[in-house]
């Protein structure tokens, strides 16, 4: 249990802006092996980020006047809140990957572009379109049912943080491994880590089935799996492996696909 808590807190420290500092950080400690072990808790990070964002969405939906624009406001502000919680960690990966893959068909040149801290036209466009898509899908879900949108927001954050574990498991790490922030993940993830991540996800799905038993969750999961397949093929074909930016982009695309699959599964 102590190792579980330490690895979870390390995951929060690495993938969010949630303060794990001072004496708490000293107790948690750090090593490349611990960071690799913390990868199993990616979906657990989604529990916190998605749970807080969903709570804000519910609060805003209750507090705002019942006007047609209210779902858009709730969707936009909850998205902003989730970005503040993560420090735009995954959005940055999406932008960098889009700049790299859009900037050059050459693998090595694309990897070099992805290391540049400046954002280009491809990254800007990908970022704007992805955030706009997520906000629009959430607003549409809220117009159908606020309770369903709240549940979907939580479920999407957990599910979209599970699928990168499969990328880590099945593709090699590429790029400048020595300087990469995702260097510890180059060793892959074992069966125990993958099982821990799946356990986080199964617990979230059990909660969603209890809250919204009639919702088309299988279609939401199918949308996420299709997004994973597309991102996996893209990374395999263009880069012959994954980078930290590729994992962030996979999370963003999978989150949007979860909302879209859920909407498409709803009755007319």
Contact 40, 7 (CB under 8 A): yes
The angle formed by the CA atoms of residues 225, 230 and 233, to the nearest 5 degrees, is 120
pLDDT in tens, 107-145: 999 999 998 888 999 999 999 999 999 999 999 999 999
pLDDT in tens, 31-71: 777 877 888 899 999 999 999 999 999 999 999 999 999 99
pLDDT band at 189 (very low <50, low <70, confident <90, very high): confident
Q: Kindly give, in sequence order, each residue whose CB lies less than 8 Å from that of residue 4, ignoring residues fewer than 6 positions away.
A: none
Separation of alpha carbons 121 and 110, rounded Å: 14
pLDDT band at 237 (very low <50, low <70, confident <90, very high): very high
pLDDT band at 176 (very low <50, low <70, confident <90, very high): low
Q: According to the model, what pLDDT value does residue 67 have?
A: 93
Six-digit token string for 72: 């858009």
121, 151, 169: which is closest to 258 by C-alpha? 151
Mean pLDDT of all residues in 6-16: 88
Q: Is the pLDDT of residue 177 over 60?
A: no
199, 157, 154: which is closest to 55 by C-alpha? 154
Residue 22 — φ and ψ, nearest 5°?
60, -135
Separation of alpha carbons 198 and 39, rounded Å: 12
pLDDT in tens, 217-226: 999 999 999 9
pTM: 0.94
Q: According to the model, what pLDDT value does residue 14 have?
A: 86
Q: According to the model, what pLDDT value does residue 7 have?
A: 86
Six-digit token string for 5: 């808590």
Could you give the maximum distance between any two Cα atoms of the chain, in Å?
Answer: 54
| pLDDT averaged over every residue in the chain | 92
Q: Which DSSP letter does residue 213 get? A: T
Query: Residue 210: how many CB atoms within 10 A of its CB?
Result: 9
Residue reference for tokens 């090593």:
31
> What secondary structure, in 3-state letters, does 153-182 show?
HHHHHHHCCCHHHHHHHHCCECCCCCCCCC
Ramachandran assignment for 31, one of left (phi > 0), alpha (psi -120 to 50 degrees), beta (any other): beta
Structural domain boundaries of the chain?
A: 43-265
Give the SS3 label for residue 220.
helix
Contact 215, 267 (CB under 8 A): no
163, 167, 189, 166: which is closest to 243 by C-alpha? 167
Q: According to the model, what pLDDT value does residue 217 have?
A: 97
């Amino acid at each position: 249990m102590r190792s579980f808590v330490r690895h979870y807190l390390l995951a929060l420290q690495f993938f969010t802006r949630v303060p794990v500092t001072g004496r708490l950080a000293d107790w948690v400690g750090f090593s490349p092996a611990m960071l690799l072990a913390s990868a199993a808790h990616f979906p657990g990070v989604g529990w916190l980020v998605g749970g807080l964002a969903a709570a804000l969405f519910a609060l805003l939906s209750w507090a705002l006047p019942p006007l047609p624009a209210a779902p858009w406001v709730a969707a936009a502000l909850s998205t902003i809140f989730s970005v503040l919680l993560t420090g735009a960690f995954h959005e940055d990966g999406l932008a960098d990957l889009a700049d790299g893959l859009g900037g050059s068909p050459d693998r090595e040149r694309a990897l070099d572009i992805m290391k540049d801290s400046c954002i280009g036209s491809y990254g800007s466009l990908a970022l704007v379109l992805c955030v706009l898509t997520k906000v629009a899908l959430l607003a549409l879900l809220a117009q159908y049912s606020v309770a369903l949108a709240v549940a979907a927001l939580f479920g999407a954050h957990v599910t979209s943080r599970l699928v990168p574990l499969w990328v880590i498991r099945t593709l090699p790490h590429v790029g400048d491994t020595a300087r990469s922030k995702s260097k510890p993940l180059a060793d892959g993830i074992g069966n125990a880590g993958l099982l821990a991540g799946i356990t986080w996800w199964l617990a979230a799905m059990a909660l969603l089935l209890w809250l919204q038993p009639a919702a088309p969750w299988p279609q939401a999961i199918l949308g996420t799996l299709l997004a994973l397949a597309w991102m996996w093929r893209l990374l395999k074909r263009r880069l012959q492996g994954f980078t930290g930016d590729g994992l962030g982009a996979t999370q963003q695309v999978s989150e949007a696909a979860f909302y879209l699959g859920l909407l498409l599964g709803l009755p007319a």
